[in-house]
Amino acid sequence: MPVTGGTAELARSATPGHLLALIRTRPQWTRRELLDATGMSRPTLLERLAPLFAAGLIHGAGSSPSDGGRPAQLIRFDDRSMAVLTFDVGHTHGRVGVTGVHGRELRSATLRLDLATTGPDEVLAALTAAAAELTRPQERLVGVGVGLPGPISPATGLPGASTVLRRWEGFPVLDRLRARWDVPLVLENDARAFALGEASVQPDSVLLGVKWASGIGAGVVSDGRSLAGADGAAGDIGHIRVDPAGPLCRCGRRGCLAAYASGYALCSSTSVGSIEELADRSFDPRVRGLLEAAARRVGEVLAALIALVNPRTLVLGGALGELPAVVSTVDQMVREIAMPHSTDGLRIVPSRLAGRAATAGLVDLVVRRVLDPEAVDRSLAASPAS
């Protein structure tokens, strides 16, 4: 079959890593098909395939149906035991998951946390203990992904300055986890991970994802890539000041969006114990009124973001963001404020993945890093078997 587009670029590259990327574009290949796609000689192809077989990255998957000649052996990407471990850490909950590299969740557990009052070491100890119960010796753990509700510095890979989670600033999260799991690790902002996860099931050219629960954060995904910003603070919309004379925010300033609309602020103003209870009471007239007022504030801020990035899809998630009344109010406000040329083709929808969205985004980040052709080549070069 002809090779086109990005697959053609993979076919022109001769390294085992690029050959693996080509193999991953289809469920199965024969050697003849790989020869035709790459233009390699048979000895060169066999030379490139050998380390991939030895590393357990590809496997023989039986034979193709015979057309009268000798059946051809089928070659597949060997993901049969591969798994990714993820920690989706929010302000009040932590979700630990074990997922296949294609996104199928195998096992998960949710822990109640309080990041504002609990130190990083204690939080990581609880998450690590939960992970030990979920992982299996027969699985091949290829990477670990962590999402945190704060900026992640692109320069250092460490949590950056946070308006609320000050004890996490500069904390060596990945070093702590690397002592337990010697595999590639990824640290990302939880809202950006949420947006990446939603982009995996809503693959528009530009997607704006908003995670609205205890806090409010956003992520922009363009052509499958998330915008982190120069200091890793892209999407920190909860602390945009909407009224200098407004209520006091946990960050110490007045009038932040979070002071009006975060789950923390709404629970405090209603004496409700949790955002889950708040969401369950969304049909109560008083709670509904508060949520709609909060959604109008959020819609005002999002209208400005939509005018800036012009997304095709706005996805609202989190315990509060995906409520139907919230989605409807945000939709109304955005279309009232932003110009029609920014909103005519815009879809405003609730999350499709709900609580699994950030997990899916973290898995995507880990798989991209681990199976990047250059990363595969480096790993093979470092392997004694090579």
Residue 161 sits in a domain whose CATH number is 3.30.420.40
Give the pLDDT score at 9.
58
Q: Which residues contact 281 (CB under 8 A, 6 or more apart)?
A: 272, 287
Has residue 198 been placed in a domain?
A: no
Tens-level pLDDT at each residue, the chain (386 residues) = 445 555 555 555 679 999 999 999 999 999 999 999 999 999 999 999 999 999 999 999 888 776 656 778 999 999 999 999 999 999 999 999 999 999 999 999 999 999 888 999 999 999 999 999 999 999 999 999 999 999 999 888 999 988 778 889 999 999 999 999 999 999 999 999 999 999 999 887 899 999 999 999 999 999 999 999 999 999 999 999 999 999 999 889 999 999 999 999 999 888 788 889 989 998 889 999 999 999 999 999 999 999 999 999 999 999 999 999 999 999 999 999 999 999 999 999 999 998 999 999 999 999 999 999 999 999 999 876 54
pTM, rounded to two decimals: 0.92
Range(s) of the domain holding residue 30 = 5-77
Predicted local distance difference test score (pLDDT) of residue 2: 47
CATH of the domain at 31: 1.10.10.10
Based on the fold, state whether residues 234 and 345 are members of the same structural domain: yes
Question: Which pLDDT score, from 0 to 100, does residue 3 have?
Answer: 52
Q: What is the pLDDT of residue 318?
A: 95
**How many distinct structural domains can be found in the chain?**
3
Pair (73, 87) in one structural domain: no
Same domain, yes or no: 277 and 137: no
Does residue 341 form part of some domain? yes
Reference 169, options 156, 184, 185; nearest CA is 156
User: CA-CA distance, 120 to 136, in Å (whole number)?
Assistant: 25
pLDDT at 4: 52
How does strand 105-112 pair with strand 140-148? unpaired
Query: Would you state the pLDDT for residue 11?
Result: 55
Residues 344, 209, single domain; the answer is yes
- Beta strand ranges found along the chain (DSSP E): 29-30, 58-63, 73-77, 82-89, 93-99, 105-112, 140-148, 185-189, 206-212, 216-222, 225-226, 313-317, 347-350
- 245 and 297 both lie in a single domain: yes
